[in-house]
């Protein structure tokens, strides 16, 4: 805004007009174009191609059987029991991952927003899991859950949670908790970082005023902290939900979708369909379906956010 | 200042309990990784759930370093991650600067598109990318990985950089431009030096992301000599009949660069998010 005024008041109308043109139509794109070109070529174009695949038969195992098939992939999807099972698993995977990550992350952010001895070191250490490569955390947690050599089944048995130290990852009813635990461990720091940033932007005098008025810690939290955090919470929860629903690495390494598809989520199902069965057409149809579901979710949450923030 | 009530004795005990809980939760798996890496192979099973290994050894580390392709995977990952981090940071700095300083036609659309790229299942574009990369003859090349990773990391890195630029007063480059600098010169000589922490945070963030990426590397790389670290390590599972000790030793070594980067950046990351745009 300031720059516009500065340029308009420059002497010489012609030069000013030319530099306005330069500034509004050309110069921003000088800085933006590498980013735009890369995103367009590597993400948007493949996205369009991917959507078009979902209306085709592209099966590398049957290369002569390709061509447009209309909605065939989608009707097949509708009656695919594995897909619906994967969708249900996606729901539980996402729900528990995000819930646990959020509450632990919020707790950590509140803790880091106070003063204590050794805070800098503490912050660096508790944020570390986020820097651990996913496949490595998957392997480590698979080891921790291993009934022969891992401690977790033994501890759970000692606590009476399990009747004996058996293989949780091999039990269709419990297997999903393995990747969920690993995901929570890995994802808490990210929530903590974003929420901490939001906490630190709350003006301090709000708290001083509340203290003078004799507000309890709980009142301060619900009346000041939470309302201030609400917009940040809405946006991070939305982005993270979508991200987690799409996130198959942990499951891929820890259980491979097994036992008996009990940990297969939609995105790992896409991967299996594309790269084990080499059926790209069908995989794309599943992906489009997932995209549709996530878009609906995002829109719902944005509407909800608008209502919440207005109040 | 905030949460003054936390000074009460019961609160203080609760607080230190919470600190202990988070530390244990964050560090225990890493400790276990390290423990297995320094346990001799023959004791891995019998030591099982012991908290402390009954014998130490560094043989897993020497075996990984000198008898496997670890160093080649490590170098490939380093090339890919540094390349990605460098390219992404330069491009995202440009884009973030444009978002921070200009009003221009299509700005909102471009921002919206960047947000949308964070939303759709990346698996959706895996198949098309595979076919494009294959038809260009770039399968098994580190270049293709760098290009793909850079594109993937640009949106978030751009928002991050924008929030750092937003924190720097506009008057600074205006003053420099009055003194006869072009905008680009002003950016390079005045603004960028002030954004160094932001550039560092972005660089580190993208480096860690590229260092851990598995699915695209798994898909685009199948030859041993261009495998990045995650893919190479996964092949340990089949190739060496799950040599856990070596695998965990390799894991510990792989942790070193990303953890160093991360410890360095996390302070700036909080600072950068505080100052602006990602607040939504």
ipTM: 0.84
Q: Identify the pLDDT of residue A14.
A: 60
A interface test, pick of B7, B125, B145 with most A CB neighbours within 10 Å = B125
Name the percent of chain A lying above pLDDT 90.
Answer: 26
Contact (Cβ atoms closer than 8 angstroms) between residue B268 and residue B197: yes
DSSP, residue by residue, B34-62:
HHHHHS-GGGHHHHTT-SS-SS---HHHH
User: Is A63 in the B-facing interface, judged by CB distances under 8 Å?
Assistant: no
User: What is the C-alpha to C-alpha distance for residues A3 and B108, in angstroms, rounded to an integer?
Assistant: 20
Count CB atoms within 10 A of the CB of residue B120: 22
**Residue A59 backbone phi and psi in degrees, to 5:** -120, 110
User: Is A201 in the B-facing interface, judged by CB distances under 8 Å?
Assistant: yes
User: What is the C-alpha to C-alpha distance for residues A138 and B86, in angstroms, rounded to an integer?
Assistant: 28
More confident residue, B16 or A23: B16
Contact (Cβ atoms closer than 8 angstroms) between residue B142 and residue B226: yes
Model confidence at B238, in pLDDT bands (50, 70, 90)? low
Mean pLDDT of B159-177: 86
Mean pLDDT of B253-260: 83
What is the rounded end-to-end Cα distance, in angstroms, of chain A? 31
Count CB atoms within 10 A of the CB of residue B178: 11
Q: Point out the least confidently predicted range of A253-267, B40-54, B127-141.
A: B40-54
Distance of CA B17 to the CA centre of its chain: 30
Mean pLDDT of A260-279: 85
Q: Outline where chain A has alpha helix (H).
A: 2-8, 13-21, 27-39, 45-53, 72-78, 81-112, 119-126, 134-145, 151-158, 177-200, 204-212, 217-220, 226-245, 249-254, 266-275, 280-310
User: What is the C-alpha to C-alpha distance for residues A166 and A154, in angstroms, rounded to an integer?
Assistant: 8
Arithmetic mean of pLDDT over chain B = 84
Residue B273 clears pLDDT 80, i.e. is over it: no
Distant-in-sequence, close-in-space partners of A81: CB < 8 Å, separation ≥ 6: none
More confident residue, B55 or A93: A93
Model confidence at A92, in pLDDT bands (50, 70, 90)? very high
Model confidence at B272, in pLDDT bands (50, 70, 90)? low
More confident residue, A265 or B181: A265
Arithmetic mean of pLDDT over chain A = 84
Contacts of B131 in chain A (CB under 8 A): 49, 280
Q: Exposed e or buried b for every residue in A290-303, given b needs 16+ CB within 10 A?
A: bbebbeebbeebee
- Which of A71-80, A99-108, A126-135, B58-67 holds the top average pLDDT? A99-108
- Which of B73-87, B215-229, B256-270 holds the top average pLDDT? B73-87
Contact (Cβ atoms closer than 8 angstroms) between residue A270 and residue A246: no
Contact A211 B170 (CB under 8 A): no
Contacts of B84 in chain A (CB under 8 A): none
Distant-in-sequence, close-in-space partners of B175: CB < 8 Å, separation ≥ 6: none
Residue A90 clears pLDDT 90, i.e. is over it: yes
Digit-coded pLDDT (tens) for B96-125: 999 998 888 888 899 888 888 887 777 778
Model confidence at A5, in pLDDT bands (50, 70, 90)? very low
Model confidence at B7, in pLDDT bands (50, 70, 90)? low
B interface test, pick of A19, A38, A94, A131 with most B CB neighbours within 10 Å = A131
8-state DSSP, B5: G
Contact (Cβ atoms closer than 8 angstroms) between residue A98 and residue A237: yes
Contact B123 A270 (CB under 8 A): yes
User: What is the C-alpha to C-alpha distance for residues B88 and A118, in angstroms, rounded to an integer?
Assistant: 34
Pairing between β-strand A67-68 and β-strand A56-57 as defined by DSSP bridges: antiparallel
Please tell me the distance in Å from B189's CA to the nearest CA on chain A. 16
User: Is A279 in the B-facing interface, judged by CB distances under 8 Å?
Assistant: no
Digit-coded pLDDT (tens) for A157-212: 888 887 777 788 888 888 899 999 999 999 999 889 888 888 887 888 888 888 88
Among B167, B93, B195, smallest CA distance to A32 is for B93
Name the percent of chain B lying above pLDDT 70.
Answer: 91
User: What is the C-alpha to C-alpha distance for residues B19 and A146, in angstroms, rounded to an integer?
Assistant: 28
Digit-coded pLDDT (tens) for A209-222: 888 888 888 888 88
Residue B208 clears pLDDT 80, i.e. is over it: yes
Mean pLDDT of B116-135: 83
């Amino acid at each position: 805004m300031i720059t516009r005024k500065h340029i308009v008041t420059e002497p010489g109308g012609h030069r000013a007009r030319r530099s306005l043109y330069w500034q509004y139509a050309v110069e921003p794109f000088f800085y933006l174009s590498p980013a735009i070109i890369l995103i367009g070529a590597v993400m948007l174009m493949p996205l369009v191609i991917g959507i078009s695949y979902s209306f085709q038969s592209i099966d590398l195992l049957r290369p002569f059987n390709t061509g447009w098939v209309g909605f065939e992939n989608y009707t097949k999807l509708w009656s695919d029991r594995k897909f619906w099972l994967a969708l249900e698993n996606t729901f539980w995977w996402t729900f528990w991952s995000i819930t646990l990550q959020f509450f632990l992350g919020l707790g950590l952010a509140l803790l880091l927003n106070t003063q204590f001895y050794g805070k800098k070191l503490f912050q660096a250490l508790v944020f570390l899991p986020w820097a651990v490569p996913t496949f490595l955390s998957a392997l480590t947690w698979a080891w921790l859950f291993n009934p022969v050599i891992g401690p977790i089944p033994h501890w759970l048995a000692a606590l009476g949670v399990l009747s004996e130290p058996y293989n949780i990852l091999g039990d269709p009813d419990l297997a999903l908790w393995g990747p969920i635990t690993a995901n929570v461990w890995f994802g808490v720091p990210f929530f903590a970082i974003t929420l901490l940033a939001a906490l630190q932007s709350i003006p301090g005098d709000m708290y001083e005023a509340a203290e003078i008025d004799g507000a309890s810690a709980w009142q301060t939290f619900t009346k000041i902290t939470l309302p201030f955090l609400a917009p940040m919470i809405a946006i991070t929860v939305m982005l993270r939900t979508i991200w987690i629903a799409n996130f198959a690495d942990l499951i891929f390494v820890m259980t491979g979708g097994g036992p008996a598809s009990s940990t297969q989520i939609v995105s790992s199902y896409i991967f299996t369909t594309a790269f084990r069965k080499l059926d790209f057409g069908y995989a794309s149809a599943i992906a489009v379906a997932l995209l549709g579901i996530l878009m609906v979710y995002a829109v719902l949450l944005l509407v909800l956010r608008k209502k919440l923030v207005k109040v | 200042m905030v949460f003054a009530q936390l000074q009460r004795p019961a609160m203080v005990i609760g607080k230190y309990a919470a600190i202990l809980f988070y530390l244990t939760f964050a560090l225990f798996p890493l400790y276990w990784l390290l423990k297995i890496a320094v346990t001799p192979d023959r004791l891995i099973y019998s030591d099982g759930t012991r908290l402390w290994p009954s014998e130490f050894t560094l043989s897993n580390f020497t075996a990984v370093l000198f008898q496997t392709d670890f160093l080649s995977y490590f170098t490939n990952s380093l090339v890919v991650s540094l390349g990605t981090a460098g390219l992404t940071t330069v491009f995202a700095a440009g884009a973030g600067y444009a978002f921070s300083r200009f009003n221009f036609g299509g700005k909102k659309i471009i921002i919206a598109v960047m947000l949308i790229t964070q939303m759709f299942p990346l698996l959706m574009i895996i198949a098309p990318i595979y076919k494009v990369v294959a038809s260009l003859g770039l399968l098994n090349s580190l270049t293709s990985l760098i290009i793909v990773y850079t594109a993937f990391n640009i949106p978030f890195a751009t928002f991050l950089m924008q929030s750092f630029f937003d924190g720097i007063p506009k008057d600074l480059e205006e003053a420099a431009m009055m003194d006869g600098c072009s905008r680009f010169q002003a950016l390079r000589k005045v603004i960028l030096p002030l954004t160094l922490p932001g550039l560092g945070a972005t660089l580190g963030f993208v480096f860690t992301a590229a260092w851990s990426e598995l699915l695209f590397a798994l898909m685009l790389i199948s030859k041993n000599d261009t495998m990045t670290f995650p893919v190479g390590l996964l092949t340990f599972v089949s190739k060496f009949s799950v040599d856990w000790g070596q695998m965990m030793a390799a894991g510990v070594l792989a942790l070193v660069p990303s953890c160093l980067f991360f410890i360095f950046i996390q302070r700036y990351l909080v600072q950068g998010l505080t100052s602006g745009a990602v607040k939504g």
